């Protein structure tokens, strides 16, 4: 059975179009409830959401669907995705649900799930839910219907958890930090975390109105953070996305640091402390400069498919702790079971405070290679894998790059596009090679 509704990170789409409609979400909640009920005990599910106006509608539908299958529901209100994962584990719930479309605009929404251990669920579980969606509903009797209640201190519990990941002997006193929550789920949480650890906090992107999530703010639009850091003469800037599982950072000079660089900082800091770092997991898009810098320090580097769930799978399979994506999804499995923008920022700040160094100083000698990305639209039924011309040009480009660069060619999962990436220390070479590969398909 193939998945019809689940993508790489739950179910996502435009509100009002299937599957992001109240009737489908009601059925989805019922199907999830029936899968949970197979365990034989009365399940309990936590539901959190971001700040999109559609969250109210979808939350009600999901709650009703779960209740109709005999499942109890705890409503957490607006809470970051990693906060829901943490509370699912801490409260011994059977499942955590997040209503969010992450970094997408407000007109989109989605639903993703966490296991009782606070981690992403396997494909097999998603297939079970999809199978249940194809079955006729099986309502429980009136006496067996699930109940629902609200957890009023969900945000406070998560704030304390985030602070607990910061070394107790360190403080952020004396630092001015701009915090951009993308008008999203961390709007009432992120500023408090850094303030309570001693920082002078300037909050932007912390005034959601249901329509402005990710709108020219946050990790996907870091220009606002850069401007604010410069204008306020701040020491650091921290940008999250709408559900706060993604992180970008800015230093006092206004320089932006992506997930690859921040991942290196966290790994290097552990090495300086004498902690074992057997390996780090990146993705097919991770920058080659970071891979080289880590391997030169004796740290193995493995690449997973693009998507934090695949990074997590690779980490678990290898027994490693650190991984992430350039987009800012970072995982530290000894700190949290899933990617967490706030916890990641605290680990990077701890490295800066403990060493008394700036981000630029911690990354001295690590310069990201230019990456040229081109999208080539494919003709209907065009089999790019069978193209002898593409294969010939690819071999030529790889020979030209040698060990100083690399080529990545992959099909888009959502559009009839072929994504071509060439990475090289020489930006002109990367651009020239990428265009040669694209032209080989157009000819």
Q: How many percent of the chain have pLDDT more than 70? A: 99
User: Mean pLDDT across the stretch 413-440?
Assistant: 92
Express each pLDDT in 131-141 by its tens digit: 999 999 999 99
Task: Report whether 218 contacts 240 (CB < 8 A).
Answer: yes
Q: What number of other Cβ atoms are within 10 A of residue 248's Cβ? A: 28
Domain made up of 11-152: CATH architecture: 3-Layer(aba) Sandwich (3.40)
Mean pLDDT of 68-90: 98
Which residues contact residue 169 at a Cβ distance below 8 angstroms, ignoring those fewer than 6 apart? Answer: none
Residue-range domain boundaries for the chain: 11-152, 157-254, 259-362, 371-442
Q: Tell which residue, 161, 153, 50, has the closest CA to residue 105.
A: 50
* pLDDT recorded at residue 378: 87
The class of domain 371-442 in CATH terms is alpha beta
Q: What is the pLDDT of residues 315-360, one digit of tens each?
A: 999 999 999 999 999 999 999 999 999 999 999 999 999 999 999 9
Provide CATH code, domain 259-362: 3.40.120.10
Burial of 334: CB neighbours in 10 Å, binned 0-12, 13-18, 19+:
exposed
Residues 375-422 have pLDDT tens digits of: 999 888 888 999 999 999 999 999 999 999 999 999 876 678 899 999
Same fold, 11-152 and 371-442: no
Q: Is 102 a catalytic residue?
A: yes
Q: How much is the average pLDDT of 106-133?
A: 95
* DSSP letters spanning 54-83: HHHHHHHHHHHHHHHTT-EEEEEEE--HHH
Calculate mean pLDDT across residues 64-90.
98
Pick the CATH number of 157-254 from 1.20.1260.10, 1.10.150.20, 3.40.120.10, 3.90.1150.10: 3.40.120.10
pLDDT at 310 exceeding the cut of 80: yes
- The predicted pLDDT at position 413 comes to 66
Q: Of 64, 68, 102, 344, which residue is the catalytic one?
A: 102
| pLDDT tens digits along 196-244 | 999 999 999 999 999 999 999 999 999 999 999 999 999 999 999 999 9
């Amino acid at each position: 059975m193939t998945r019809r509704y689940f993508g790489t990170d739950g179910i996502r789409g435009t509100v009002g179009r299937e599957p992001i409609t109240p009737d489908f979400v009601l059925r989805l909640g019922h199907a999830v409830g029936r899968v949970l009920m197979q365990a034989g005990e009365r399940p309990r599910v936590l539901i959190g959401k971001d700040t999109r106006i559609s969250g109210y509608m979808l939350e009600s539908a999901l709650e009703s669907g779960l209740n109709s299958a005999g499942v109890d529901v705890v409503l957490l209100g607006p809470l970051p995705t990693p906060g829901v994962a943490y509370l699912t584990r801490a409260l011994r719930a059977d499942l955590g649900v997040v209503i969010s479309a992450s970094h997408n605009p407000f007109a989109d929404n989605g639903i993703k799930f966490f296991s009782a251990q606070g981690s992403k669920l396997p494909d097999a579980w998603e297939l079970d839910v999809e199978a249940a969606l194809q079955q006729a509903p099986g309502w429980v009797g009136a006496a067996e219907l699930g109940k629902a209640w609200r957890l009023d201190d969900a945000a406070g519990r998560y704030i304390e958890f985030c602070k607990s990941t910061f070394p107790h002997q360190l403080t952020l006193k004396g630092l001015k930090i701009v915090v951009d929550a993308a008008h999203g789920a961390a709007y009432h949480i992120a500023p408090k975390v850094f303030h309570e650890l001693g920082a002078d906090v300037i909050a932007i992107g912390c005034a959601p109105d249901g329509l402005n999530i990710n709108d020219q703010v946050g990790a996907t639009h870091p220009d606002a953070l850069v401007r604010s850091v410069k204008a306020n003469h701040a020491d650091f800037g921290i940008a999250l996305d709408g559900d706060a599982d993604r992180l970008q950072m800015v230093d006092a000079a206004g320089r932006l640091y992506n997930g690859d660089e921040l991942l290196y900082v966290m790994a290097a800091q552990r090495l300086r402390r004498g902690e074992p770092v057997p390996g780090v997991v990146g993705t097919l898009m991770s920058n080659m400069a970071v891979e080289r810098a880590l391997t030169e320090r004796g740290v193995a580097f493995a690449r997973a498919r693009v998507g934090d769930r695949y990074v997590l799978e690779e980490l678990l399979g290898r027994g490693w702790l650190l991984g992430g994506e350039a987009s800012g999804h970072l995982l530290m499995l000894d700190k949290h079971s899933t990617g967490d923008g706030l916890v990641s920022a605290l680990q990077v700040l701890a490295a800066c405070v403990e060493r008394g160094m700036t981000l630029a100083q911690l990354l001295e000698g690590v310069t990201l290679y230019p990456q040229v990305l081109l999208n080539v639209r494919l003709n209907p039924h065009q089999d790019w894998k069978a193209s002898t011309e593409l294969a010939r040009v690819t071999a030529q480009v790889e020979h030209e790059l040698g060990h100083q660069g690399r080529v990545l060619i992959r099909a888009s999962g959502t559009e009839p596009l072929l994504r071509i990436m060439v990475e090289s220390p020489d930006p002109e070479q990367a651009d020239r090679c990428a265009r040669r590969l694209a032209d080989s398909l157009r000819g």
